[in-house]
Structure 1
Amino acid sequence: MVSKIRLEDRECPLSATLGIVGEWWTVLILHDCFDGYTRFDEFQANIGLSSSMLTARLKGLVDRGILERRPYQERPVRYEYVLTDLGRSLRPVLVAMAAWRNAQLAPQERSMILVDARTGREAEPVVVDAHTGERVDGAGYVFAAGPAAGPIMRQRYEGVARRPAPEAAFPAGAPESAAPERA
């Protein structure tokens, strides 16, 4: 079955990202990488994916520049899979996904949490604008057409910056102006 992709989706960074890392197994492989695992047998033991499926997923991540395949043994030749700079840049995405799920659970129901390695204190990650330090999850920040947007994307976002944002854009319990404290 051929899937139909809207022209707009070809330009959308959300669609593009999901096309690269939006699959269940790929996210689990990346999670393992961020936990320090690099070898095929480690991924297979942790994830339980068949050899052929794991090989295909790893190849895709290498082809997209997210992982680098490096030999670690010569006889027989064996490879490890190491995050590239592009791959490491996905860490905040996975952190945000885990935080989103954990925010829906009571603290005692969380099976994995993000902690400050120095203090052991649980961290509460937020996404902020690098220029202002303000949270970007409130209604004050909206998507708009970028410089490379085609006609469909431009039409979708025409005047969006001047439109009032829906109240649903505010996360529960988080005021729009809530910003993390600066050191």
Structure 2
Amino acid sequence: MTGPLKLHWDMVTSGERGTDLDEALQPIRKLNRGAIWRYGQAGDLPGDKDTIDRAGVLKIAKASKGKRAIIFTHKPPSLDNIAIIREAAAEGLNINLSADSIEKADNLADLGLPVAVVLNSEYGRRKDESLSEYRRRAKDLANYTPKGRKIAVCPATYTDVSCTQCGVCADGERKGVIVGFPAHGTKKKRVDEIAGHAGKRSDHGSR
């Protein structure tokens, strides 16, 4: 909604750039085998409103063959949408279902697909907070969902680890682990309202 990304987004909206999926995927096709790339810094999968465009997603899967894509979607988990996401996964394109709360993440994880969730900003490392201080504080925060699934806070949010070095969000099989992204930036307070309060560590944390 702000900064360089908004400038690019406005140009896409006006038709000045980025109007064709095939053109956008050309650089992806040229990536080396095994390379990690990120789809959609903003926006969502191809499709009309809540509906996923099967042909568009399969184009992405074809272009990404042999690579590892980091993709998230907020599209609702309708039967048709989930069928397309499963089809893409069979082609090697793993798409993370995005949840706005830990409870919703649990429900999405019941579908057996990779899930990511937005977390309260308390899960994030504070300004001028050392890594050891952050880790001590984070020990008191809930690290399991109500249904007992592990919540793993994205390491890039509190260390110098990059997505290329980690790559977990590109994997389809995470043994039920849900990746969490703490609220941050200018809209942090609004995201906190959506994500809910940071819970305290439960008995699951002793596993």
Fold equivalence (TM over 0.5): no
More strand by share: 2
Question: Which structure is higher in RCO with an 8 Å CA cutoff and minimum separation 6?
Answer: 2
| TM-score scaled by length of structure 2 | 0.28
| TM-score scaled by length of structure 1 | 0.30
Q: Of the two, which has the highest radius of gyration? A: 1
